[in-house]
Amino acid sequence: MKNSWREALIGLCLAALPVAAMFVLVVLPAFEGLRFSLGYVPGDNPAYSTGSHLVTSSTPTLEVYRTLLSSPFVQADLRLTLTVTLFTVLLILLVGYSLALLVRFGPGRLGAAVRSLYLIPMFVPVVIAAYAFITLYGSRGWLDALLHHVGIGYRSPIYGIPGIVMGLVWSHLPFATLLLGSGLDALPEEQVEAARDSGAGFLSILWRIILPLNLTPTMIVAAFSGISVLGSYTVPALLGPNAPQMVGVAMEQYFGAYRQPQGAVALAMITFALAAAIGALYVWGISRTRRHG
């Protein structure tokens, strides 16, 4: 009894350090950010107090959020962010599943090739990848030159929404495929065999056995890539249109280019709320699966 108490205490002490570090480095600044976005301008923090167009108030006010959300410019940014997040997650799932299925069920050589290729994006820094996309798919890039030779016209998608989605899908694929693949590996072979023996086609096996049994990894991939895409910065900063922008880019612009830290912090809070909503969906989904599973 005494021993288990001591072990618990040691465990708590060990856990306390990272928790304390997180509290100081993440929770406190986030709290100060929240207060700032509600109109409390901290006089002793020049990074905040030297901003332009500050809303200063001694009682909490939603003025900053009102101004932001009523701007058609910010509305367009949020619409773009949600659209890109939705399409990117769907594409990640679609492509990730296809690759994972190829690895698990594909013919020997193809499966092996995919298995070694799909991890590549993980080892290429996103910035390099984004520039590679520009060189390859950009206007007067390689693809353009190639198509020009065979007489096909080309309009580069790279500085439009498709450019952002392409870049984000590419960079998120390894993680998604890895996770979906490990879920597929855990599927009981017998069930698939039994279904095959009783004459079920691949699609019905996929729909009735594989997808339902692999629901948890699927939800993990959807939630984690959703949150990561929502707050992404590098890919949308380098690819995509001048405007509208993903919120990650807009946030940085408010902070740096427009010198409006209050707007940046408020955008961060909005992004946090959206990410929390995805997280809540995920928790709800997981708890449902557990109950039914």
Partner 1 sequence: MKKKAVSALARAAVLLSVLSIGGVRAQSAVTLNFYSGGDVNVQDLWANNLIPMYKKVAPNVTINLVWSEHGAADQATFDRLAAAKKAGKVSGVDLWESGMVQQAGEAGMMAKIAASDVSNLSKVPPTIIQQVGSYGLPYRGSSVVLAYNSKEVSSPPRSLPELFDWIKKNPGKFTYNTPDTGGSGHAFVERVLMSGLPQDQIKTFQTEYKPEMVSAFDKGLATLKELDASMYQNGFHPKGNVGTLQLLAKGNIRMGTVWSDMALSYLAQNLLPPEIKLVQLEPPFSGGAAFLGVAADSPNKAQAMAFLNWLLTPEVQAVVINKMNGYPGVDWKYVPTETRTKFADIAKSYSIGFQERFGADINKLWYEKIAGTPMPASK
Minimum distance of partner 1 from residue 128's CB (angstroms): 16
If the CB atoms of residues 221 and 250 are measured against partner 1, the closer one turns out to be: 250
3-state secondary structure of 22: helix
Minimum distance of partner 1 from residue 14's CB (angstroms): 29
**One of 253, 262, 266, 274 touching partner 1 (CB under 8 A):** 253
Does residue 96 contact residue 177 with C-beta atoms inside 8 Å? yes
Enumerate residues 115-134 that contact partner 1 by CB under 8 A.
none
Minimum distance of partner 1 from residue 158's CB (angstroms): 10
8-state DSSP, 119: T
Q: Is residue 260 within the footprint of partner 1 (CB under 8 A)?
A: yes
Nearest of 65, 8, 6 to residue 263 by alpha carbon: 65
If the CB atoms of residues 230 and 264 are measured against partner 1, the closer one turns out to be: 264
Q: Is residue 259 within the footprint of partner 1 (CB under 8 A)?
A: yes
Q: Is residue 256 within the footprint of partner 1 (CB under 8 A)?
A: yes
Measure the N-to-C terminal CA separation of the chain; round to a whole number of Å: 36
Q: Quote the CA–CA distance of 263 and 36 in Å, as a whole number.
A: 10
Total site size for partner 1, rule CB under 8 A: 28
Q: Is residue 142 within the footprint of partner 1 (CB under 8 A)?
A: no
Q: Quote the CA–CA distance of 98 and 233 in Å, as a whole number.
A: 27
Structure tokens at 95: 């492509």
Q: Quote the CA–CA distance of 222 and 224 in Å, as a whole number.
A: 6
Nearest of 281, 236, 243, 246 to residue 267 by alpha carbon: 246
Q: Is residue 238 within the footprint of partner 1 (CB under 8 A)?
A: yes
Minimum distance of partner 1 from residue 11's CB (angstroms): 34
Q: Is residue 243 within the footprint of partner 1 (CB under 8 A)?
A: yes
Enumerate residues 35-74 that contact partner 1 by CB under 8 A.
44-47, 49-50, 52-53, 71-73
Enumerate residues 173-232 that contact partner 1 by CB under 8 A.
none
Does residue 48 contact residue 262 with C-beta atoms inside 8 Å? yes
Stretch of residues binding partner 1 (CB under 8 A), selected from 146-154, 195-203, 236-244, 267-275? 236-244
Q: Quote the CA–CA distance of 191 and 62 in Å, as a whole number.
A: 56
Q: Quote the CA–CA distance of 69 and 273 in Å, as a whole number.
A: 14
Q: Which residues bind partner 1 (CB under 8 A)?
A: 44-47, 49-50, 52-53, 71-73, 76, 139-140, 159, 237-238, 241-245, 253, 256-260
